[in-house]
Each structure stands twice: as structure tokens, then as C-alpha cells.
Amino acid sequence: MELDELYTDLILEYSQSNTHRKPLIRPNYKMRGVNPSCGDNIELELNVENGMIKEVGLLGNGCAISQASAAMMAELIEGKTVEEAKQFAKTFIGMIQKTVTDEEALEVLEEARAFQNISNMPARVKCAVLSWHTLEEALEKEE
């Protein structure tokens, strides 16, 4: 099963996004994530102040799916609280694992819902969830 054409365009567009593609000056959360099966790597940096994610920096490289997923995640979590970001990660991973299927619950993911059908392409699942797992790990401990 293929991804929807509209979603394919969205994924390509985001994979080339430079909005968050910069190192932060003094990130207080930092985590590197790798997906050896595809060669994707993500370096996620966050500036968190009073429980709020003020700024997101993304470095790394890899396939379009991994980079687009990271870019969408960055857009979604910037300006949100740490608790909200953790909830988004749970929802996204749940969507991929098909444990979260409720349309209303998935609405919060906005454009990241483009990855919903990726669960039909098992080889690409790790690419799509890489940044979200990296986010969960990053938020476990402050630098």
C-alpha cells in the first residue's frame, strides 16, 4: 500500500524544510537518535524554560521520511509545554502502532498525521518514529 499522493508531497516538502535546521546556542536538552537500518540520524536540541519548549534545533540527515517527520515534530512542539510534547509523542507512536485510532485524538498531530499509513510500510516505520523516540529520550533528562 502506497502513501496518499497529497501526503507524499507534504512529506517531501517538509523533508526539505530548514525552519529548525540549526544548532541552538545553549540547549538544555539534547539527544541523538539513530536508525541504523536506514542510516538516519537526528540531533535534537531544545531550549526549555519554565516547562515550555521555547526553541527547537534539528541537525542530522537521512531519508525524506525521517527528516520530514523530525521537521513536523519540531514545528508541532515549539511553543508547547514539555507535558504536551510528551503527549504528542505518545499519540504519534500510538498512531503508527495503530493503538491510537480515534480521529479526534489524532487531530492534535496536525500535519504529522501524514504518516498515519506508514504502518503499512514496515520498513519505513523506524524512519517515521525516530525523531519522536529521540524527543521522548531527550525529555527524560536535562543537560
Using the rule CB under 5 A, give the single segment among 4-12, 31-39, 47-55, 96-104 that binds Zn ion. Answer: 31-39
CB-neighbour burial class of residue 93 (10 A; exposed 0-12, middle 13-18, buried 19+): middle
What is the smallest separation between the CB atom of 29 and Zn ion, expressed in angstroms? Answer: 23
What is the smallest separation between the CB atom of 85 and Zn ion, expressed in angstroms? Answer: 22
Cell of 98: 495503530
> How many other CB atoms are there within 10 angstroms of residue 66's CB atom?
26
Scanning residues 36 to 55, which ones bind Zn ion (CB under 5 A)?
Answer: 38, 40
- Report the Cα 34 to chain-centroid distance in Å: 13
Give the Cα separation of 53 and 77 in Å (integer).
7
CB nearer to Zn ion: pick between 11 and 31: 11
Instruction: Compose the 78-117 pattern: x for residues touching Zn ion by CB under 5 A, - for all others.
Output: ----------------------------------------
